[in-house]
Amino acid sequence: MHDMHLETLKRAILILMAIAARGKTITYKELALALGLPVAGLNFGERSALQRLLDLLMVICFKRELPLLPLCVVRADTGQPGEGLGPVLQALNVIKEAEWIDPIERKEMVKVEQQRALHYCQNAQNDDRFVHKALGS
């Protein structure tokens, strides 16, 4: 991975861990701006740079048995993660398509993962091992 992309990925992890530790969420636009990524194209057609970064981060979190931090990134209009994460979650066998499509099951799954992120990231504030595991260092 290119050094610039790796640095952006690490910054995204640290931002999302800080957000999760406070029990908050961040919008796609806010995260894109914080990372210096283009905001244009977040809602249309092909996957934006931010969406591709979040897809990669979802896989990393899953493989490292971390909370699914990208689920703390939400749409401003719904307060929920975007539809585009569904295929990634399905490919990882985290959720079935029917569960992602059902708004009640989806909200419950997102809520559980956000709570898991809250607890994990609060512990990370007191123990650097949690941060090192997330950053892969």
For 26, phi then psi, to 5°, come to -135, 145
Amino acid 35: pLDDT: 95
Helices marked H in 36-102: 49-63, 85-91, 97-101
28-42, 51-65, 78-92: least confidently modelled range: 28-42
Separation between Cα atoms, residue 118 and residue 108, nearest integer Å: 15
pLDDT in tens, 94-128: 988 888 889 999 999 999 999 999 999 988 877 77
Amino acid 101: pLDDT: 87
* Rounded mean pLDDT, 58-75: 94
Residue 53 has pLDDT above 60, yes or no: yes
Amino acid 125: pLDDT: 73
For 24, residues 6+ apart whose C-beta sits below 8 A from its C-beta are 72
For the chain, which residues make up each domain, given as ranges?
Answer: 3-135
Q: How confident is the model at residue 44 (pLDDT cuts 50, 70, 90)?
A: low
Across all residues in the chain, what is the average pLDDT? 87
Amino acid 68: pLDDT: 95
